[in-house]
Amino acid sequence: MAKRIMAGRSTPQSSRRSGSGSGSSNSSSTTTRGTTTKPTAPTPTPDEARELLEIKLTQLNSLLWCCYGDGNGWFEEAGEKHRDNMLWIAADLAREAEMLLEISSRA
């Protein structure tokens, strides 16, 4: 069984990506701490990057609000393993948002 399960909404599909089959059963990805290696996908257009950036920032905002924003102490009570996983997710989202900002500003 996988040590980490990552789930989320589907990303918008570009007409350029039709036929690339990002969800094919032959594609594999490996995950290590702080990085996710996936099969190479086409770089999103600036408009697609802005849309994806908005999604990533919304996800990050919600995650951090759950961890800290309402002050209910749940984050401290979650345990070291869950805190570590949540911070790992937040770091990945921030890294992806930074990359998408760079792409979206090229326009």
| Model confidence pLDDT, tens digit, residues 62-102 | 988 888 877 678 888 888 999 899 999 999 999 999 999 99
pTM of the model: 0.58
Range picked from 10-14, 42-46, 67-71, 93-97 for highest mean pLDDT: 93-97
Q: Which residues contact 14 (CB under 8 A, 6 or more apart)?
A: 42, 44, 45, 48
